[in-house]
Amino acid sequence: MPVASSTTVGDVVSLSQELVEEERIRGQVRLYNVDNADRVESDSEKFLRRTLTTDGIQKSLRILRDSLTGEDIRGTHLLRGPFGTGKSHQMLVLYHCFNNPEVARKRFSDEITDFDTALPDEATTIPVALQYSQPEELWDPFFDALDFDPGSFEAGGWPDMEEIMTAVGDQTVALFVDELERWFETLDDDKTEATKGFLQSILEAASEYDNLHFVTSVLQKESEVYGVLNREKSASINMRSEVNSRELIQHRLFDSASKDKEAARDIVDSYFEAYEASEHVNVSGDKRQKMYEAYPVHPDLLETLEEDYYAQGENQAARGMLFLLSKTVLAKHDQTDFITHADLEPRTEVEREIGTELSHLDDDVHGVCVEDIGRVEEAEIPYGQHILSTILLHSLRPGDTEMIGADQSDIIFGSYQLGDNISDIVRDLNRVSNGNTWYVHTKGEKHVIRESRTVSALINDERAGVTRDEALGNIRDAIGRIFEGGHPVVQDDDLTEVTDNKQTKAIIKADEWTAEEVETVITNGGDGREYRNTLVFVQPTKSVLDSTTVEKAKDLEAALSVKRDDTIDTELQNDASER
């Protein structure tokens, strides 16, 4: 049975304050929540403390510093990338630099040289979240916040740079516009031109004056509004390439300063030495170092989740991983010494939020995995759930690619915990993949969960309908193939089916002949036989009608039925033929 380690993740490293307080990681933040006192977006200190200073944030902060001091004319920050790449989060970081510069100085001064002296002591921040509220004109919230009337533009035109800077005056102003692209695409022709004109005006003004700053976000570089803003006077930052999901996970889930590095190293060394000592595991040269860096989450689990989320064709991998791992860490940090695949419990009745999130990746595959976990528990396979959880995570990828599936080493990395015997895991893997599950398919060295049943499951299903007579028919056919031209005798009816002619006939009994059975053949069931001297009676040294042989004959009949079923996948029909 699996054995728990006496040391736990919680003994080695503390959970982050965010995870302890909120019991989850909110992967999504919104600009419109800056005015909501119940949300972290409104709390500068808490928000910036939870922020990992990514390469993208460092780049934006350095540009902000230089634009505030006049060394960089790029007063516009253009954050570009698909959903889930951190655009709103980075916009909020810049927002809090203006909204609460004192907190921002404390948070970033050690990382960004001269940042503290560059920030203004106070500023007017204007958040415009277009997914929350759409103004009549884009400039309306800007001038409303500055209590300035630019006049009417009903007859055409838009506020120019002079009007913008008159409204700004001597104060420092920062305008933040989130989801600009989607709102822009809904405008009619006249408003499109007016909005483009205003954007160009504010872009020019932000490059000419160091007390006006403009931050906005777009989804793609091919959009019309991106073409308007992407000038030499704006800083375009590709958010897709700026987030390291593993660094983000470490920062948001754990208090890295609390980590007992010596204890973590001891645990990693124990795992690695167990892998290395086993003949069942292939260990790469840099595995130990990767485990040091990733602890307390196993690096193979991180790699698997990255592949799962990115394979979905979306760009919210970091967000999905954060949520899933936050719930896993909360559930398991005081039960295990290393978070592995086995800790992601797929059954919603055991871990509701973990199971639900896994089902979002592939509901069908997740569902059949849960069914098979029930089967391995009924079969009393100790490591069955660990193994199936690991295979599931390696199967949540659309398409039939080489990436799908887990080999033996993958399964050991995902299932093993200190105190376990790796040979026991391998034993249970053989049981899982050889008839005790319905949906674990094995191809070469890989095991994968598919929504279609395995050939073993199909054969077992068909076998329930196979009669004893059909099984005996297969034994009769097998004897006939072995003794070509002979007459197999498996059932009583076969005794009276022996032809009466001059040719010598071998009559092969499936078990020992009795005197009565011999007489039945010789007398042709009482009807008389003309050529009695043509009969040769053969019997085996041991009966082939024992229960084991009959059961195998039923298996054969079930396999033949699967092979004949045209509704079944050709690959499975071929597998049935090999049986």
Contacts of 140 (CB under 8 A, 6+ apart): none
Q: Phi first, then psi: what are they for 36, rounded to 5°?
A: -105, 105
d(Cα 438, Cα 482) in Å, to the nearest integer? 34
Token couple for 504: 């010598």
Report which secondary-structure segment, H or E, holds 121.
Answer: none
Tens of each residue's pLDDT in the chain, 579 residues = 444 458 999 999 999 999 998 888 876 889 999 999 999 999 999 999 999 888 888 999 999 999 999 898 999 999 887 777 788 899 999 999 999 999 999 999 999 999 999 999 999 999 999 988 999 999 999 999 999 999 989 888 999 999 999 999 999 999 999 989 889 988 898 899 999 999 999 999 999 999 999 999 888 767 888 888 887 788 888 776 656 788 889 999 999 999 999 999 999 999 999 999 999 999 988 999 999 999 999 999 999 998 888 777 655 677 888 899 999 999 999 999 999 999 999 999 999 999 999 999 999 999 999 999 999 999 999 999 999 999 999 999 766 555 689 999 999 999 999 999 999 999 999 999 988 999 999 988 999 999 888 877 777 777 778 888 888 888 888 888 888 878 888 888 889 889 898 888 889 898 999 999 999 999 998 888 888 888 889 998 888 888 888 888 888 877 777 677 666 565 554 554 455
Report which secondary-structure segment, H or E, holds 245.
Answer: helix 245-253
d(Cα 577, Cα 180) in Å, to the nearest integer? 60
The number of helices, as runs of H, and strands, as runs of E, in the chain is: 27, 12
d(Cα 568, Cα 506) in Å, to the nearest integer? 40
Q: Tokens 């008159």 map to which residue?
A: 166
Token couple for 544: 């082939």
Cβ–Cβ under 8 Å, residues 505 and 487: yes
Helices 363-378 and 384-393, axial angle in degrees (round to 10): 170
- The pLDDT tens digits of the residues spanning 318-373 come to 788 889 999 999 999 999 999 999 999 999 999 999 999 999 999 999 999 999 99
Q: How many residues does the chain have?
A: 579
* CA dihedral (239, 244, 248, 251) positive or negative: negative
